[in-house]
A and B are shown apart, each in its own frame.
Chain A
Amino acid sequence: MLWTPVNDFGWSVDNYGSTYTDAGIGVSSPGHANANTKGANTSMLVGIAEDCYGISISFSGRSGAAASQRCMVDLLIDPAAGVGNTGSSWNVVIANLFAVGPTLGTVGAFGYHYYFPLYLKAGTAIGTAHQNNTAGTLALRVAIRCYGKPSRSELMKCGTLVQTINANTSTTGGTVATTPGTGAKGSYSATLGTLTRDSWWWQLGVGSTDTSMTANGYLWDIAANATNKIMCAENIMYAVVSNAEQAGKAAMGTNIPIKCISSGQDVYTRAAAVGAPDTGMFGIVYALGGC
């Protein structure tokens, strides 16, 4: 019998705090006085004590009635900070993580989540810079947890580089639209962009420019290759809970979002909505590669 052990993590560190509310969890990352401009670099975690093999990033606390509160967050690292020290010399490790109306705590809103098996050395400090389509130093709650001390490091596939596809920083939105189907998967979008390196882990940002979002449930797919539309991530849950422009998004759908796709392939999204979808919808794809 082939003996195949499993890996689990014995260590994690986070900035969640003890208040699991929309505006209480995590740390506030302010926007900028100008719209569509990155706000101040903000420390999230001091230099981590162990090597990180996976990182979850969650957003909340940034919604407003009759307004599209679109957020884009650069995940920053200072690899030279040292264990326990606050970062000071920041580099972008994931550009423009997206959220629209991210809310935690309203019934049906569960926060706006991402997960990357991203490797970070011990001693790396983590921060964020947040921009919003609305001017002002608007607070966005960012909750981050890093996982380490694997029981089976040889079974851990980690990446080091993330490509962001279809982010439009001038509008804090997406460039290429995706129109979800109603009660069925809609057509694939036009190409969102082309992979610049081999990639294997997939995350999705979902948003809209709708200022009167309608309570709805969505399942989103990411695919690659113009001809075959190879499924990379499937049925990622996105929910709008009310007409107060509040939303939540899961990090993963109904399968683990692993698919090896070679550099040069185009990337697409499609979605199904239970009811009529909001207007101006788009997907932003994050493709992890490197090793």
Chain B
Amino acid sequence: MAISEAYANTESITSTEWSLTGDDNTLDAITTDGVYQLWLDVSDMITGDELQIRIYEKVQAADTQRVVYQSNLFGPQSPPIWVSPTLILIHGWDMSLDQIAGTSGITVTWSIRKVA
């Protein structure tokens, strides 16, 4: 079982949901199997900010992609690094960020780590 960094990037997140695998504003349906964990540097968050984190997956390959995990962060974060649970993702997954409130633009650095 190798450990690797499957996706990594940085973006100023605004009120348009941002795919962390495609690094764009279109949700993807990744079918590369693995055990994945999302790491975020959210040190740019300030009072009034709300950042929504979502992980999507399909239960079966033919199913509809749905939200399996959601977390909403508010204001300055301590600790400034956020880590998701690890999930076994197979059938059509993605992870996303969306700014729900606050002055437009939260700069977030992310790393999606993979065990497979």
Contacts and interface: CB of A to CB of B under 8 A. Distances in A.
Interface residues on A, range: 10 to 19
A9 to B, nearest CB: 9
Main secondary structure of the interface of A (DSSP, over half): mixed
A4 B89 CA distance: 23
Contacts of A152: 71
B83 A3 contact: yes
B83 A11 contact: no
Contacts of A151: 71-74
Contacts of B72: 10-11, 149-151
A155 to B, nearest CB: 10
Nearest to B75: A10
A218 B116 CA distance: 58
A149 B74 CA distance: 10
Interface residues on B, range: under 10
B74 A153 contact: no
B74 A10 contact: yes
B36 to A, nearest CB: 15
Main secondary structure of the interface of B (DSSP, over half): strand
Interface string B61-88: 0000000011111100000000101000
B69 A154 contact: yes
A8 B74 CA distance: 9
Most buried by B among A10, A150, A152: A10
A11 B71 CA distance: 12
B17 interface: no
Given A153-B69, A153-B70, A154-B69, 9 more contacts: A10-B50, A149-B72, A149-B74, A150-B71, A151-B71, A151-B72, A151-B73, A151-B74, A154-B85
22 contacts: A3-B83, A5-B83, A8-B74, A10-B50, A10-B72, A10-B73, A10-B74, A11-B72, A149-B72, A149-B74, A150-B71, A150-B72, A151-B71, A151-B72, A151-B73, A151-B74, A152-B71, A153-B69, A153-B70, A153-B71, A154-B69, A154-B85
